[in-house]
Each structure stands twice: as C-alpha cells, then as structure tokens.
A and B are shown apart, each in its own frame.
With several copies, the nearest count.
Chain A
C-alpha cells in the first residue's frame, strides 16, 4: 500500500486521469525526452558506481549471465504461446518486448526499495542494461526462422537466418539511444567511482524521485492515450499483458530464489523478467521487424503491463518474496 501512496505512482494516476477527462495538460516531447535521458543516466551512473564499490563478484557475474540468457530465451516460449492467436511478426515482436525490460518500471521499483530502506546491488542495473538487447535479436531470429518454414537454406545454415544482415541487426539491437546512454553511464559510473558519483549526485541522486514524479505524470498522460489502441488488441492480448508478464516475473522470482539473492535484488530481478519494453525495443523493432504492427506491441507494454507492474506487480512480488524468505528451511 505504501507504493500506491508514494508521489510517483500518484502522479502516474494524475496523468492518466488528465487524459481520461480530456484535459489539455501535456508534457512537451523534448521534456519527456530529457526526463527519460536523465533517469537512464542517473540509474546508470549509480549502478556503475555501486558496481565499482561492490566489485564484479561471482554472484554478480552469475546474475548478469542468467539475465542475458533469460532475455534471449524467454521470447522463445512467449512466442510459442502468442502464435496461438497472432501472426508470425506480431508474435515475435511482442515476445521481444516482453523478453526485454522496462527501465522506468525498474526505476520505480528502485524508488520503492529506497523508500522501504532496502538495499540492492549495482549489478542489478548491469543486468537491466544487459537484458535490453538479446530479446530483440531473439525475436527477429524467431520471426525469420518461422517465416522460412524451418527449412535450412541454400548455404545449409540454420533456417531463415541465411540472408540476415547480422551487422545491421546488431546495430539496431545494441546501439539504440536508450541502450547507449544506460551502458555508457554505467561505464562512466564504474570508471569514475566514488569521486565521480560525489560530483554528479547533487543532480543524479537527490532530485531523482522528484524527476520520477514528473516523468510518471507524463507516462500517465501517454499510457492513457494508448488505451484506445487496445480495443483492437482483443482479450487474448490484454490477458497476455498481465498473465504473461506475471508468468515471466515468477520465473524471475524462482531464479532469484535459486541464486539466493537478497530481497532487493530478487525484487528487481522479478521486475526485470516481468516488465516489457515500450521505449528501446519498439524503436529497434520498427527497423528490425518492420512488418510487425507497432500498434499492438507498444500499447500492450505501455498501457497494460507497465501500469500493472507499478501498481500491482511491485508490491505483489515484494509480498511473495517476503513470504518465501519467511518460509522456514529456505
């Protein structure tokens, strides 16, 4: 309940309300861009700084490795499920969005942890950064292989990947602006360590939650505007936006349990697994999977899964993880 009554979430509701009552309130595009740039830089710098303090331990490397793997493999399963009702490209695109992560959801979870006074590790930010891109590549490969009917192509290589421009795909998946800023800021935070963080924290740390309020106000405005698109999505897809997300989130809970992660890290892993990208992945997919309909995967991630996660998901995973860790014998 604490989270629901925190300013960022309430500003999200305010934004959504403003759209629903058809207010003329709007956050200009360049401001939205500035706010998301700020949030990515801030979380990246902080994650890098914490990593520089905590070091690349075995646990860190394990979590980061598992995260990459999950981003790459989860789409295979969700694709299979989505193909029950959707065309090839749309299924692959949605699978990619859900295999990847939502940085804003992650950041909201971080704010939740901070308010609860719970610590988390720098490598969780690294895991977030590492999970952005593999799902894109995975989704594109799935779409390609399926389109080719699974038959190996002339060169004898794996089906459908013959003509693939790997270089271009890599560029679209890895060099997206959001990925660059996040990874770059983490690297800078790591390299400049304690001293660097001290220099930038008056901008990047203290005002963080206030900026999140501004950004979630805008997210509310935008997400509510996309609700209309969902009419065409159908009940199956809407259900997937919640059930599919939770299923992935529970995989995250399980993985966190297996790895013996602390509560904060476990919650963040659940949120990474269970969140879907509506910024970086759609931008990349327009190029990498032009035949997929952005009016499906974008509103689903933005107007269903994102609100679900920040309103229900975060406290839910929190409660589940608390319950698990309270169970004797774990």
Chain B
C-alpha cells in the first residue's frame, strides 16, 4: 500500500478529450472514465446525453503521487476555469500490481 492522491473530475463531455490529453501529458499512471446520468452546478442542469453530448458530463478518476499533484492541478485548473466542471482531490492508499 502506497499513499497517493485521488483525483476525480466532472467535465462536460465535449471537453473530455482535452482533459484526458492534459492528464496524459501530466503523466498520470492510469485513468478510469464513467458515465454521468445527470447533474447540476453553477452553469445549470446537465442531462444524460440523450440527443447529443452537448449538455452531458463525464466522470474521470485518476491518481498521482503527492509531489506530482501541484503540476497536475495547475494543468487542470485552466480547463475548469474555461469550461466549468469540478475537480476533487483526496488522500488515498493504493494497492496495485506494480
């Protein structure tokens, strides 16, 4: 077991691609994407993407070592400022095959 930072992000699906790129470039070791049924925040309600992805969200879960967190947070923040969405960071312990 190893201490890591747990990062979860909710972002508009149209911008998922950009966030994934940023995270990949920031070197997160892995990533899990899940669907969002609905949600709301400052910019109003989001749907489940019935007609198009225009108003739907994605949920991303990733981890990083504590010392990498500032760089990753700095990389994500501008995207959240531009597009809205949410990033939650918490402490966790990791069990992995590596």
Contact = CB atoms under 8 A, between A and B. Distances in A.
A165 interface: no
B55 A280 contact: no
Interface stretch (A1-9, A108-116, A282-290): A282-290
B50 A283 contact: no
A283 B53 contact: yes
Contacts of B55: 282, 294-295, 298
Contact of B54 (A33, A36, A218, A286): A286
A206 interface: no
Contacts of A218: 50
A225 B56 CA distance: 15
Chain B's interface: helix, strand, loop or mixed, by majority? mixed
Interface string B30-69: 0000000000000111011111111100000000000000
A279 interface: yes
Contacts, number: 50
B71 to A, nearest CB: 24
Given A286-B12, A286-B14, A290-B82, A295 B54 contact: no
Given A287-B14, A290-B83, A27 B54 contact: no
A79 interface: no
A197 interface: no
Interface residues of B, number: 17
Chain A's interface: helix, strand, loop or mixed, by majority? helix
A293 B44 CA distance: 10
Given A229-B44, A286-B14, A290-B82, A298 B50 contact: no
Given A282-B55, A290-B83, A27 B14 contact: no
Interface residues of A, number: 25
Nearest to B55: A294
Interface string A265-293: 00000000000001110110111001001
A27 B47 CA distance: 13
A43 B53 CA distance: 22
A178 B54 CA distance: 13
A286 B56 CA distance: 11
A29 B82 contact: no
Contact of A32 (B15, B50, B53): B50
Contacts of B43: 293, 295
Interface of A: 24, 27, 29, 32-33, 36, 178, 218, 222, 225, 229, 278-280, 282-283, 285-287, 290, 293-295, 298, 302
16 contacts: A29-B48, A29-B49, A32-B50, A32-B51, A222-B50, A229-B45, A278-B52, A282-B52, A286-B12, A286-B14, A286-B54, A293-B43, A294-B55, A295-B55, A298-B55, A302-B51
Given A286-B54, A298-B54, 11 more contacts: A27-B50, A178-B52, A279-B52, A282-B52, A283-B53, A286-B12, A286-B14, A290-B15, A290-B83, A295-B45, A302-B51
